[in-house]
Structure formats: structure tokens, C-alpha cells
Amino acid sequence: EKADIGVTGLATMGRNLARNFAHHGYVVAVHNRTEERTRQLMDDHAGEGAFLPSGSVEEFVASLNRPRKAIIMVKAGAPTDAVIEELAAYMEPGDMIIDGGNANYEDTRRREAALKERGLHFVGTGISGGEEGALNGPSIMPGGAAEAYKTLGPLLEDIAAKVDGTPCCVHVGPDGAGHFVKMVHNGIEYSDMQLIAESYDLLRQALGLSPAELAEIFREWNRGELESYLIEITAEVLGHVDAATGRPFVDVVVDQAEQKGTGRWTVQSALDLGVPVTGIAEAVFSRALSGHPDQRAAARGLAGPDATAKPEAGVHADLVEDVRRALYASKIVAYAQGFDQMAEASKEYGWDIDLGAMATIWRGGCIIRARFLDRIRAAYDADRKLPTLLVDPTFASALSEAQDAWRRVVATAATIGVPTPGFSSALAYYDGLRRDRLPAALVQGLRDFFGAHTYRRVDREGSFHTDWSADRTEHSA
Ligand code: NDP
């Protein structure tokens, strides 16, 4: 008997993904560079389904039914290239190599093109949900050729998370589209976490609430429109007490946020595409700021607001509800920006990404799963060509209801000296988009003054330059 699918790379993710396939009745070939991991999988889980272990890549490939489908779950980067080479050496035209690691989409584009020349399918696939998702149902974002998805798709849809019976897996688009979308998913995850962290910080600083009391607030928020996995686990983390010291867990953790790189990639790509993903960028930069202990120590003595500065009277009592609204409004902005980035990349690379479908497959299995995503899907269902999520009638009215609270929160934070870059930049983005005229007109004037970069006029077609250093007459450029 041969295997329906194979997994090579049996660390946390690969092992659980292999078990997930086995639980769904598939015969799963398993392989790992260091054979000990394969043995471990067989020792611990052989009884859960049909596994075919292999000690060598050659044996692993030979144990697969044609067209062969081999999933790579190894460290992203050079290890992935190495494993692709090993697999490809034993594969035949029509076979598929699926990369489920967190690859950069540019690498995926390169790999797909190279393997296509050898007659092999390469399917760069985003997988979200961590260890738990891999085992019980992740959100899966496969790229690669539509032809490959025809054979591979049903297997992936089987093991994916399901919401209302719909699998959290859809063919995203060709070559790097899947990994691109997974990257933006992670970027949005960064901004979601940043906004949650700002909410916690502001409420704690302004109202002197304890982490346990704040945990209760987040638990309450999770019953409303903010309902999501990240809000749910925020309540868990804030409520957790350190066993060793008896102090709130959040107070014994070093306050320097680390990153593996997908947030940074999202921002780098957004800069290239010219899409303002300010929410994600602020989240990445906030982590970077936290990671500079020397600068922070040196700056500790800098002047702040009068220690007696308090949120405005009257605002105080309602601050919890205001922050909830500001969080929701800022979250809408962050998602709108992430979806813009996918739309722009889709145009740039010819991927034809169905944005509503992306909201659908993020509803379950992944870290940013949330009730909110149903609203995004509905927005794109109603208008596939929506210029920005902000103008969808449901979101527009949510923003309209939240905006007063949002402004009070940003003002309060500035007054008492609590940094809320996520809230403030989201509000600035909202106000920027809304504006009838932007000061970009002045920027154009300055550019023309010092660099003769020209400008366009509101009343006539064409490009113009003013002769700033002479008599200031205007010429057609
Ligand atoms: P790791 O990223 O820790 O990678 C370990 C695995 O890579 C081991 O099986 C290791 O083999 C293998 N490996 C490393 N270098 C090579 C090489 N040169 N040749 C062959 N195999 C190699 O494992 P994870 O399970 O955490 O993640 C796997 C992938 O999934 C990564 O790309 C990760 O970014 C991605 N991912 C992870 C998530 C998570 O929550 N952890 C979520 C979503 C995606 P050996 O045992 O021989 O050392």
C-alpha cells in the first residue's frame, strides 16, 4: 500500500499535521532528516491511523501514490531549498511539492517557477493556527497552480478547520499568493495584538485597574462585537498568576516583544506596493521600540505630563467603554489596510485574489479568528469592488458610532502620556481618508520649489512647474 500524502519535517507542526491527515483516514508517509523524530512519532502515535515511516528521502518519495504529494514542514529559508532539491531529485512530472512553512512569498515565486520548468508543481501554502491548529484544523492558504489544487485541495479542505460547515481553506491564487496572504494574516495579527496591548496599558495606567480586573473586562468584551481568539486569550494571560512569586504573570515577563519576521515582511512589501498599512507598521515598530532597553533606560528621566494629570473629569467613568470602541474602530482600520495590501498585490502579480474568501478562511483555525470576519466577508459579498472596507455601510456606521469615543481615547492617552500608536495612527488614517483636501498639495508645492518635481492643478489637465527662483511664472511641464 502507498500513501495518499507525505509529510517531511516532523517537528511540532509537521508531526501534528501528519496526525491530522491520519485522523481523517489518509495513509500518511512520514519522514524527518533526523530519524529519531520519525521513530518518536511512530512510538507515540502509530495507533492513531495509517503512517508509512521512511528513513530516507528516496524511500519517502517512493512510498507516495502518484501524483505524489509531499508536504515540507521544515525551518523556512535555506532548509526549505535543501529539502526541495532532495525531493525533486526523486519526483516525476506532475508530482507536487507543498511547502507549509512560513516562507517569504518571493522565495515561493522563485521556487514555483524553477520547479515548473522541471514539470513539478510547487504549492506554497500558508498554514495558521500553531501547534493546536495543525492537529485539530488549521486555516490553510494554498497558492500554486489551479491544476494542482484540483487534486490536492480536497485533502487540505478535509483537514482544515470548519466554520458553519465551510472549510477554512481555499485556493488563494497562483505561485506566491498563498504565502503572501499568510504573511498579511500575520501582519494583521501583529496589529490586533498591539491594539489589545494599548487597551490594557491605557486602562491600567489611567484607572489603576489590576490585571485581574482587566482580565474580567476582556472576558466581557469577548461577548460582544470584539469576540475573537486573541481577546479570549488576553483574558487568560491577564488573569494568570505567577506560581513562583504570586504576582500577576504579566508583571514578571520582560517587556520586550520579539518577532520572527512576518510582520516586518508585511510592512516591507507594503512599502514597495505603496499601501499605507500604518496599523501593522506601528505594531512592528512598537515591538522594535520595546527591544531597545539601553535607550529606554537612558530616556526614563525625560519629562512627562504632570504626575497628577488625570483623564478629563467625566471621561474617566466611561473610559472602559470608550477604549472598547476605540479598539473596535482601530481594528476595522487595521483590517481594511491589510485587505488593501492583498488587493494591491493581487493586481501587481495577477493573482485574482477573492478578498471575501480570505475573510472566510480566517474565521476558524487561525490566530486572528473572530466573529468580525463574517462582517468583512459580507462586505465583499455585497460589493466585490469595495474601494476600502471603511465605506462598507456596516463598517461606516460602526466607525461613525465609535469615532467620538476614539477621539477621546487618543486625547486622554496623549494627556496622561500613555503611548497608543495603534489607536492614534488608525484615527489619523481614518481622518486622512475622509478629508476633502489634504496638505499633500503643500508637499507638492515644496517638491516643485526645491526639485522642479512638477504638480498637477485642480482646474486644468497636465503637469506644471513654477519658476520659483525667477519671476514665479508657471509653465506647462
Ligand atoms: P521548526 O521551524 O523548528 O523546524 C524544525 C524542523 O526542520 C525539523 O524537522 C528539522 O529537522 C527540520 N530541518 C531544519 N533544517 C533542515 C534541513 N537543512 N534539512 C532537512 N530538515 C531540516 O519546526 P516547526 O514545526 O515549528 O515549524 C515548521 C514550519 O512551519 C516552519 O517553517 C514554521 O515557520 C512554520 N509554521 C510554524 C508555526 C508554529 O506555530 N510553530 C505556525 C505556522 C507555520 P531535524 O529534526 O533533523 O532537525
Backbone angles phi, psi at 441, to 5 degrees: -60, -40
Report which ligand 1 atom has the smallest distance to the Cα of 8.
Answer: 9
Strand blocks (E) in 40-104: 50-53, 69-72, 96-99
For ligand 1, atom 29: residue with the closest CA: 101
Given 86, 112, 157, 189, the catalytic residue: 189
Instruction: List the grid coordinates of 206.
Output: 489611567
Q: What angle do CA 338, 341, 342 make, to 5 degrees?
A: 95
Torsion of CA 388, 394, 396, 397, to 10 degrees: 180
Does residue 182 have an active-site annotation? yes
**Which of 16, 33, 182, 186 for a ligand 1 pocket mutation test, highest count of atoms within 8 Å of Cβ?**
33
Does residue 36 have an active-site annotation? no
Q: Name the residue with cell 525551518.
A: 75
Residues with CB under 6 A from ligand 1: 9-14, 32-34, 37, 73-76, 79, 82-83, 101-102, 127-128, 130-131
Q: Name the residue with cell 500608536.
A: 421
Q: Are 254 and 261 in contact (CB under 8 A)?
A: no
pLDDT of residue 314: 46
**Ligand 1 centre from 74 Cα, in Å?**
3
Question: Among 60, 61, 120, 72, which Cα is nearest to 98's?
Answer: 72
pTM of the model: 0.96
- Rounded Cα gap, residues 477 and 473, in angstroms: 12
Task: With a threshold of 0.90, tell me whether the complex ipTM lies above it.
Answer: yes
8-state DSSP, 454 = -
Q: Name the residue with cell 512560513.
A: 102
Helices 421-434 and 278-290 pack at an angle, to 10 degrees, of 160
For ligand 1, atom 30: residue with the closest CA: 101
The number of C-alpha atoms within 13 Å of 269 and in the hemisphere containing its C-beta is: 29
pLDDT of residue 191: 98
**Which of 20, 37, 40, 74 for a ligand 1 pocket mutation test, highest count of atoms within 8 Å of Cβ?**
74
What is the maximum alpha-carbon separation in the chain?
87
For ligand 1, atom 21: residue with the closest CA: 33
**Which of 10, 73, 182, 183 for a ligand 1 pocket mutation test, highest count of atoms within 8 Å of Cβ?**
73
Q: Is 322 exposed, middle or buried (0-12, 13-18, 19+ CB in 10 A)?
A: buried
Backbone angles phi, psi at 276, to 5 degrees: -75, 95
- Rounded Cα gap, residues 324 and 330, in angstroms: 10
For ligand 1, atom 17: residue with the closest CA: 79
**Ligand 1 centre from 125 Cα, in Å?**
14
- Rama region for 208: left / alpha / beta (φ>0; ψ in -120 to 50; rest): left
For ligand 1, atom 15: residue with the closest CA: 79
8-state DSSP, 48 = G
* Residues with pLDDT less than 50, the chain: 313-314
Q: What angle do CA 26, 31, 35 make, to 5 degrees?
A: 140
For ligand 1, atom 27: residue with the closest CA: 13
**Ligand 1 centre from 355 Cα, in Å?**
29
Given 69, 182, 198, 282, the catalytic residue: 182
pLDDT of residue 306: 82
